Structure 1
Amino acid sequence: MATLHFELVTPEKLVRSEEVHMVVVPGTEGEFGVLAGHAPFMSTVRDGDLAIYRSETGEPERIRIEGGFAEVNEKGLTVLAEKAEG
């Protein structure tokens, strides 16, 4: 199983940096899921919950975020949030 490198960053600190199965991001145009190998993509992020799936069959961990940007590139997914709780 391929893993996705995921980072969650706020202006204060690096909140998460880990390998996961999938992350569902609350984009301003709707939620979108990111798996390993996703095409390059950039989106603004609305207030909502990130859903972090550590495995294909597990329950997601949810982290509340407020605003920001998400970028998917060859290195993985980076979410730059104004605030993150969790």
Structure 2
Amino acid sequence: MLHFELVTPEKLVRADDVYMVVVPGTEGDFGVLEGHAPFMSTIRDGELAIYKTQNGTPETIRIEGGFAEVNGVGLVVLAENVAA
């Protein structure tokens, strides 16, 4: 499982172990699975698609701007704003 955290400047919005997250990167959407190579990307306004299981229906969360970091622990999305 991929450890995923969604953070804004105000708070930790979500921390969960998931199958995959698709992030709206400024260079295009990218999917992150467990074991993904480390990297950082800026993100554009759009929707995160969070897959709890391999064939499951994704949950979407609207985000605005920020950065995404994939590291040895998992994926951290540092969003400027998360729509309620």
- The alignment's TM-score, normalised by the length of structure 2, stands at 0.98
Residue of structure 1 equivalent to 2:8 = 10
Residue of structure 2 equivalent to 1:28 = 26
Residue of structure 2 equivalent to 1:75 = 73
CA RMSD of aligned residues (A): 0.6
How far apart are the structure 1 equivalents of 2:48 and 2:83?
A: 10
Counterpart residue identity of residue 22, structure 2: V
Percent identical pairs in the alignment equals 74
Residue of structure 2 equivalent to 1:49 = 47
Give, in angstroms, the shift of residue 10 of structure 1. Answer: 0.2
Give, in angstroms, the shift of residue 67 of structure 1. Answer: 0.1
Residue of structure 1 equivalent to 2:63 = 65
Q: Which runs of 4+ in 1 moved over 2 A?
A: none
Give, in angstroms, the shift of residue 34 of structure 1. Answer: 0.0
SS in structure 2 opposite 1:38? coil
Give, in angstroms, the shift of residue 85 of structure 1. Answer: 1.9
Number of residue pairs matched by the alignment: 84
- The alignment's TM-score, normalised by the length of structure 1, stands at 0.96
Can you give the 5+ residue segments of structure 1 that lack an aligned partner in the other structure? none
SS in structure 2 opposite 1:11? coil
